[in-house]
Amino acid sequence: MAKREDIRTILVIGSGPIVIGQACEFDSSGAPAYKVLREEGYRVVLVNSNPATIMTDPGLADRTYIEPITAEFVEKVIREERPEALLPTLGGQTALNVAVELAESGVLDCYGVEMIGCSLEAIQRGENRKLFNECMAELGIQTARSGYAYSVEEARAIVDEIGLPVVLRPSFTLGGAGGGIASNYDELDLIVSQGLELSPIGEVLVEESIEGWKEFEMEVVRDRAGNGIIVCSIENLDPMGVHTGDSITVAPAQTLSDVEYQRMRTASLAVLEKVGVQTGGSNVQFAVNPSDGRMVIIEMNPRVSRSSALASKATGFPIAKVAARLAVGYTLPEIVNDITGTTSACFEPSIDYCVVKAPRFAFEKFKDSDDTLSTRMKAVGEVMACGRTFEEALGKALRSLENGRAGLGVDGHMRASETKEGYAPLLARPTRNRIVYIGCALRRGWTPSEIHDLTGIDRFFLDRMADVVAVQEALRGARIDDMDAEAFRIAKRYGLSDVQIAFLTNSTEIIVRTRRKALGVVPVFNAVDTCAAEFESSTAYFYKTYEAPVLANGDSLSAADAAEEPRQKPKALILGAGPNRIGQGIEFDYCCVHASYALHDAGWETIMVNCNPETVSTDYDTSDKLYFEPLTYEDVMDIVDVEQPDGVVTTLGGQTPLKLARALEEAGVPFMGTGADAIDLAEDRDRFAALLDSLGIAYPPAGDAHTLDEAERVASRIGFPLLVRPSYVLGGRGMAIVYDAKQLRRYMGEAAKISPDHPVYLDKFLESAVEVDLDCICDGEDVYIGGVLEHIEEAGIHSGDSACCIPPFSLSDTLVNQLRDIAWRLALSIGVRGLLNIQFAVKDQTVYVIEANPRASRTVPFVSKATGVPLAKVAARVMAGEQLADMGLPPDTRELGYCAVKEAVMPFGRFPGSDVVLGPEMKSTGEVMGIAPTFPAAYAKTQLAISYELPRSGDVFISVADRDKRSIAALARDFARLGFEVVSTGGTAKTLSASGVACKKVKKISEGHPNVVDMIADGEIKLMINTPFGHGPRGDGYVLRLAAVRHGVTYATTIAAAQAFAAAMEVARDKGLGVVALQDLPQWT
């Protein structure tokens, strides 16, 4: 069989913005898949609303539509492009859901579009629990006993039959959203009622609890000839009950004997055949009873998934690329294994290392939300680590998480401070820290068996961890001089980092490193080659480990795969961004990838270091070499020692590599682009303030403080309100606005915990100022202004959470020129060689510089897509020594002729109990983009892309803080004109009536029933405008906003957003929204 010639154009759907449960793994799957499809000669049309992805680069697909992934917009694209085929399996649940909607509504038939990769029937059999369970029954494969409920009463009836506890899974929701475990009828009623609302078809599966069983996952690939292979098996460290996305997982499966493994393998293949997955990748999840081997199937996904991205990185087998080829007609034996370049892709990878994935959480961002891990995924990112033992891989994974830890304990954090008994509750409840508590408990004398009884974690993993702790404790208190090579190798075999060794021996990381190297204990770099070294591989994808030396006739034999060859080209080492977390997402990965492309094209050998399996940067063919390693000093320096790079890029991966810059520079590592001193000049408040003073640039009055006394002195000097934050943070972590001395005292009490070594910064907060971002590139002589972004929300909302527009929609040319002028002067005087991001606040026509970051900013991908100039690539070439003047860039003063809006996507639905108000601390996980001729139309697209409905009529509830009362009348009048009925409580109603706006008054929560929350619950309120006052009191506003999130009511928490909303609704209603391909806008290449 060969590829299909009857297809010319293929429509592929991306996965949209990054949300919990659906991160950039689909960029990592999609981008290479599209490359493959184009190589095969197909015309690829892409729809994806996420501008931060590589896949939405205009060069990747033939036609790139950054449009909402809704049936309405995808149909518009189909009408425009007339594809013969739709490939829905590479864009996660989002793409699959839209494809199903288009197929069921007849749109695909109407335009003659064939779904390839997976049929509608197969998707339904895979996703609809009832059909799926029927299929499994026909195969004789067990599923957990269960029933479907469409009401709370039905759920209770099912529970009467199968007993408590039960697992509840709303149908067709992302990452298990809305699911949970109920141990009593109260919990049952609560979760079922929430789940029914979240499920698009109002259906909740009520299932026998198999909590505590072992959980496994098989990654399967199948072709249309019926050949099927298992790419990877994965075992969860946490037993059933914790979502697999929230669990530490291990590949390959560790505790299955051959007969158990082969039974699971066979069942997985049979499941794909039965469900009817024609081609491509799927994952199948199983639970195994640890006491008798009983195996039940949990679910399968008939598409590329988060775990297939992980499996690809874990084994080197490129599932998405292969799936794309299979979808257009090839069979597995017709495809060559990319990694070996010689053997068949129709085989099952064998790996000779252990892979550990660890989830990254962000509970600290969502105060008051429950941090118990459950069947509802809450992780915002993940890391992967490879080692030759589970212990080694676990240690590497834990130190990759960017949470200040250096491994499993003994790093100065989380000492074993409880009594032995004190650990019982910490072990019993699954949380993000449980893995560390296990280490503490072992130190306090718990046995693996006792811990197993409380956690249900398999003894295998606990025994391994017990060994790790035992080695640590044996080392504790020793002198570093007593460590010989053997002791170092043992420490490394059990996953200890140099930092941990330093902690245990009361030494420093540098001393440990020096001694280790002096003893000749240096790592080897092994290739991830899909075949356990059985065949030679040409792909440069490495991980690090430590091996006993091999002697060839007495001489040491160099066994490492990453052996040094004569240097042909200069080498650039690019440090990636680490795990996705709030404040540091895919945007930085985008920049690293672009730099790699640009430097490769400019004749450099590019070397990527990163530990995030969800990204394009960790695709083995993005850079010339890939090191899948933690971004710590130790791990990066080990790579530097082997590669001896000519330049290291630290300014594109966000805060992670930036934090290393100083130490790397002290170690004599050559930098590319902006140097550590320039970074320091911009980040050090005193130096930066002195610079601004010397340039005559205004900035908000500020001060810093190590103690409350100092803070109060600063406050009395510059006055309230104050923006307070700890130094050296990203994403506004720990940032707050304080309005009086009492709040300041409370903040200072908490801030001490955040970062004990660094002071707290206090800035005058410019209330109701307009915030502006500016991204530019400086080569030392010229400055190129990439874009000026006007924020929609006013100053005080973190820039990452604020919507923004290119070009500025309300700023005068004079003002924009003033911003440009400041950018030129700042960039040149800081000494930037590469990207610079400046944040301004404009108040009363005065421009204040809030901060300047001489590195890639979160907005670089958005600006690049909006303007057609790939800033990260240009910046990389500047770092490599090119001059801006020689690049032929379009004038940065040109008029774009259209508007591009970026809007943030919030994860509040995942964190019940957490307030949804925007503030100076960033909370969004992702972003969407809208492009249209006008600002309101572009803004409307962003709202639709987040699946906020733009209601057309009904009640709009308005309740605003006092400071907003003056501006509310005009807005309310707009809504009335658009045909909405305005509803208000007390004060706001009075203001509106006084201004002559007709307004229905409802009761506040405190005034009894029926009140406004009842109206929200009843679905009467279609839109809610509620602005909180500064510091978010736990009053009515909080309850209202929670109700809005829970019931899916569209809401705005700032006046600016509400105004944009009104304009958007008007344009969407009157003119309709067209679609536009990036290729039709000017692009610089």
Partner 1 sequence: MSLLASKMLAATSKPPAKEALLVLEDGTCFHGNACGALGEVFGEVCFNTSVEGYLEIVTDPSYAGQIVVMTYPQIGNYGVCLEDAQADHPALRGLVVRDMCYTPSNWRSERTLPDYLKREGIFAIEGVDTRALVQHVRDYGAMRAVLSSEDLNAESLANKARASEPIVGVNLARTVSCPEPHAFGQSDLASSKAFALAPPALARYRVIAYDCGIKRSILEGLVRAGCEITLVPWNTPASQVLEMAPDGVFLSNGPGDPDAVEGTYRQVEKLLGKVPVFGICLGHQMICKAAGGQIEKLKFGHHGGNQPVMNLLTGRVEITAQNHGFNLVVPSLGPLASEMEGISPAHPADLLFWAEQGIAPVVSNPRYGGVRLTHVNLNDGTAEGIAFTDIPAFSVQYHPEANPGPTDSHYLFTAFTRLMDGREDYLDIDIAKDRLEGWQFE
Tell me the HSE value of 888 on the side-chain side, using a 13 A CA sphere: 3
Single residue of 326, 531, 900, 929 touching partner 1 by CB under 8 A = 531
Interacting positions 823-852 with partner 1 (CB under 8 A): none
Using CB under 8 A as the binding rule, the residues of this chain from 124 to 143 that contact partner 1 are: 139-142
Q: Which stretch binds partner 1 (CB under 8 A): 28-36, 45-53, 534-542, 982-990?
A: 534-542
Total residues contacting partner 1 by CB under 8 A comes to: 89
* Residue 212 interacting with partner 1 (CB under 8 A): no
Among positions 501-530, residues that touch partner 1 (CB under 8 A) are 524, 526
Judged by CB under 8 A, the stretch of 227-235, 624-632, 637-645, 990-998 that binds partner 1 is: 227-235
Q: How far is the CB of 481 from partner 1 (least distance, A)?
A: 10
Please give the residues from 133 up to 192 whose contact with partner 1 meets the rule CB under 8 A.
Answer: 139-142
The span of 59-67, 542-550, 588-596, 967-975 binding partner 1 (CB under 8 A) equals: 542-550
Work out how close the CB of 629 gets to partner 1 at its nearest, in angstroms, rounded to a whole number.
17
The residue within the footprint of partner 1, chosen from 106, 554, 566, 1072 (CB under 8 A), is 554
Paired with 628 in beta bridges are 610
What's the closest the beta carbon of residue 260 comes to partner 1, in angstroms?
7
Burial call 872-888: b when 16+ CB within 10 Å, e when fewer: bbbbbbbbbeeebeebe
Least Å distance, CB 290 to partner 1, is: 6
Binds partner 1 by CB under 8 A, chosen from 460, 809, 824, 1029: 460
Residue 54 token pair: 């590589």
Q: Which of residues 257-286 bind partner 1 (CB under 8 A)?
A: 257-263, 265-267, 269-270, 273
Q: Positive or negative, the Cα torsion across 1068, 1071, 1077, 1079? A: negative
Q: Are 740 and 683 in contact (CB under 8 A)?
A: no
CB closer to partner 1, 512 vs 869: 512
- CA angle 75/77/80 to nearest 5° reads 110
Run of H or E including 842: strand 834-843
Q: Which is nearer to partner 1, 490 or 1039 (CB)?
A: 490
What is the crossing angle of helices 685-695 and 676-683, to 10°? 80
Residues 413-452 that bind partner 1 (CB under 8 A): 448
Nearest-angstrom CA–CA distance, 955 and 1019: 10
Residues 388-407 that bind partner 1 (CB under 8 A): 388-390
State the nearest-atom distance from the C-beta of 231 to partner 1, in Å.
Answer: 11
Should residue 624 be labelled a site residue for partner 1 when binding is judged by CB under 8 A?
Answer: no
CA distance 875 to 598: 9
| Residue 938 CA: distances (Å) to CA of 409, 614, 947, 1063 | 49, 29, 14, 10
Instruction: Give the residue with the Cβ less far from partner 1, 307 or 526.
Output: 526
Q: Per the structure block, which two tokens stand in for 995? A: 């201004």
Is residue 475 close enough to count as binding partner 1 by CB under 8 A?
yes
The alpha helices in 202-244, defined as continuous H runs, are none
Among 3, 35, 429, 459, binds partner 1 (CB under 8 A): 459
Contacts of 405 (CB under 8 A, 6+ apart): 398, 399, 411, 413, 414, 436
Stretch that binds partner 1, among 29-37, 293-301, 603-611, 744-752 (CB under 8 A): 293-301
Q: Quick one: which of 167, 435, 483, 1056 contacts partner 1 (CB under 8 A)?
A: 483
Sheet containing 166-170: order of strands: 146-149, 204-208, 166-170, 180-182
Q: Which is nearer to partner 1, 383 or 475 (CB)?
A: 475
Name the minimum Å distance from CB 548 to partner 1: 5
H or E, element range at 182: strand 180-182
**Phi, psi angles (nearest 5°) of residue 464:** -65, -45
Sole binder of partner 1 in the list 71, 120, 190, 478 (CB under 8 A): 478
- In the complex, minimum distance from the CB of residue 626 to partner 1, in angstroms, rounded to a whole number: 18
13 or 435, CB closer to partner 1?
Answer: 435
Residue found under tokens 């030396």 = 549
Q: Which is nearer to partner 1, 274 or 581 (CB)?
A: 274
Report 294-323 residues binding partner 1 (CB under 8 A): 294-295
CB of 483 to partner 1, least distance (A): 6
Put residue 85 in one of left, alpha, beta given phi > 0 → left and psi -120 to 50 → alpha. Answer: beta
- Segment (H or E) for 872: helix 871-879
- Which range, of 219-227, 394-402, 671-679, 787-795, touches partner 1 by CB under 8 A? 219-227
Nearer to partner 1, 139 or 164 (CB): 139
Question: Among 2, 186, 518, 552, which residue interacts with partner 1 (rule: CB under 8 A)?
Answer: 552
Report in angstroms how near the CB of residue 562 gets to partner 1 at its nearest.
Answer: 13
| Strand 605-610 to 571-575 pairing | parallel
Residue in 72, 104, 121, 536 binding partner 1, rule: CB under 8 A: 536
Give residues 332-391 in contact with partner 1 (rule: CB under 8 A).
Answer: 332-333, 343-344, 346-354, 388-390
Alpha carbons 505 and 516: distance in angstroms, whole number = 13
Q: Figure out which of the listed residues 2, 6, 551, 1009 binds partner 1, where binding follows CB under 8 A.
A: 551
Nearer to partner 1, 76 or 493 (CB): 493
For partner 1, the closer CB: 269 or 319 = 269
> In the complex, what is the shortest distance from the CB of residue 441 to partner 1, in angstroms, rounded to a whole number?
17
E strand spans, 377-457: 381-387
852 Cβ neighbours under 8 A, 6+ residues apart: 682, 688, 826, 830, 836, 837, 838, 839
- The token duo for 241 is 């009950």
State how far Cα 988 lies from the chain centre: 39
Say how far apart CA 866 and CA 858 lie, in whole Å.
Answer: 14
CB of 488 to partner 1, least distance (A): 9
Q: Which is nearer to partner 1, 286 or 939 (CB)?
A: 286
Q: Should residue 550 be labelled a site residue for partner 1 when binding is judged by CB under 8 A?
A: yes
Q: Please, which of residues 20-79 interact with partner 1 by CB under 8 A?
A: none
In the complex, the smallest distance separating the C-beta of residue 469 from partner 1, rounded to whole angstroms, is: 9
Sign of the alpha-carbon dihedral angle for 255, 237, 422, 440: positive
Considering only residues 717 to 756 of the shown chain, the ones binding partner 1 according to CB under 8 A are none
Say whether residue 967 binds partner 1 (CB under 8 A). no
How many whole angstroms separate alpha carbon 313 and alpha carbon 297? 25
Report, in Å, the least distance between residue 298 CB and partner 1: 14
- Counted residue by residue, the chain has a size of 1085
Least spacing, CB of residue 486 vs partner 1, in Å: 4
Q: Among candidates 784, 795, 785, which has minimal Cα distance to 848?
A: 795
Minimum distance, C-beta of residue 521 to partner 1, in the bound complex (Å): 12
Q: Are 1000 and 982 in contact (CB under 8 A)?
A: yes
Residues between 564 and 583 that touch partner 1 (CB under 8 A): none
Q: Which one, of 585, 589, 666, 596, lies nearest residue 879 by Cα?
A: 596
SS3 label, residue 980? strand
Q: Which of 68, 175, 178, 252 binds partner 1 (CB under 8 A)?
A: 252
